[in-house]
Structure 1
């Protein structure tokens, strides 16, 4: 990775791309430029049919320590609207491909909200997660309250956002916020291994699972079950379903084509 490149994109393996935020002097804090670069990188990878899974990580032992307070302090409500300061989060939230956050060090404020936009979060043992916005007179504004509410429940969320106190990786995992905890320094490697596994799966089934999970979490259970059943049945009209089941019966590795 070019050490001068603030947001670097590389293809790590078949079907897997990595976006690395490289602003170590600010512990990878988000400013408007960085957020725009990440959003553009995501959109470019969305259009790349060879990419099935995107891993988002930070260089220098940190994920994202938060949002650049110096840039944000003088902003008015109108400027937030005009500058679309939430665009990166919207792009991440709407990304149809699987997103994995590989977290080392701090994931605070906008950094925690960035991780919360992803489908999986793999964290080093020393990672810290939190929404400290209240300590500077504001509140989370890119999904922190709502995504935490859905992930860890009302009472943990209220303590987190009203005190600004961070969770350790162990606490976050226990609360249901993380997919996995790994030794410090290995979050990216483990995320890449998971990404490679997911990228080897039938693409249409992966896409259907993501869609159903995203839509189902905010609707009544009966509606969510109907969405799941419809997606399940539709996959029986794919070549990948035929290939997967035939390969299982023939005791061989399947070759999925995304058709």
Structure 2
């Protein structure tokens, strides 16, 4: 998809609520929101191609910690670890997300698409090689 995709995350993001934003280009999280990936507690792996995306964002050690320990992660930690690009005040997450979307939409679409494709091809090499894990 050549358009910029942005996830607005408020209150709580659990499991698929974390996996789906990982597929977006940018993530904006509310200041009191937290992330929670409980799959390991019920014997599952993170699905939907989310694990390689998570590794791309936070690195192998932090990805393992997030997925194995199933700790709740506050917005401040998600920002510090590079899991989200921005933390917005509660109640302003959607507004800030729309501001970013509007700003991106004002840019030349061909250039945006080319940049996004090049960045994704570079960063996504691991995503393609590790997608076999979804079958587990």
TM beyond 0.5: yes
Deviation at 1:130, TM superposition (A): 2.7
One of 196, 207, 218 as aligned partner of 2:113:
207
- State the alpha-carbon separation in 1 of the partners of residues 48 and 108 from structure 2: 32
Match of 1:113 in 2: 19
**CA offset at residue 144 of structure 1?**
2.8
Give 1:172 deviation, angstroms.
0.5
**What's the TM-score once normalised by structure 1's chain length?**
0.47
Aligned counterpart in structure 2 of residue 148 of structure 1, from 49, 54, 63: 54
2:33 is aligned, of 111, 114, 127, to 127
Q: Is the 8 A contact 2:2 2:112 kept in 1?
A: no
Unaligned runs of 5+ in 1: 1-94, 220-259
Aligned-residue offset at 1:137: 1.9
Which residue matches 2:65? 159
Q: Is the 8 A contact 1:100 1:191 kept in 2?
A: yes
CA displacement at 1:167 relative to structure 2 = 1.1
Computing the radius of gyration over CA atoms, which structure comes out larger, 1 or 2? 1
Q: How many residues align?
A: 125
Rounded to whole Å, the distance in 1 between the matches of 2:100 and 2:124 is 26
Q: Is the 8 A contact 2:3 2:109 kept in 1?
A: no
Task: Look up the SS of the partner of 1:98 in the other structure.
Answer: coil
Give distance in 2, aligned partners of 1:218 and 1:103: 23
1:188 paired to 2:94: yes
TM-score, normalised to structure 2's length? Answer: 0.87
CA deviation map 1:98-153 (0-9, x unaligned):
11001101111111010000000011101112321011121211123211111101
Q: 4+ residue stretches of structure 1 with deviation over 6 A?
A: none
Of structures 1 and 2, the one scoring higher in RCO (CA 8 A, sep 6+) is 2
Determine whether 1:103 maps to 2:9. yes
RMSD (Å) for aligned C-alpha atoms: 1.2
Whichever structure has more helix as a proportion of its residues is 2
Please name the residue that 2:129 is paired with: none
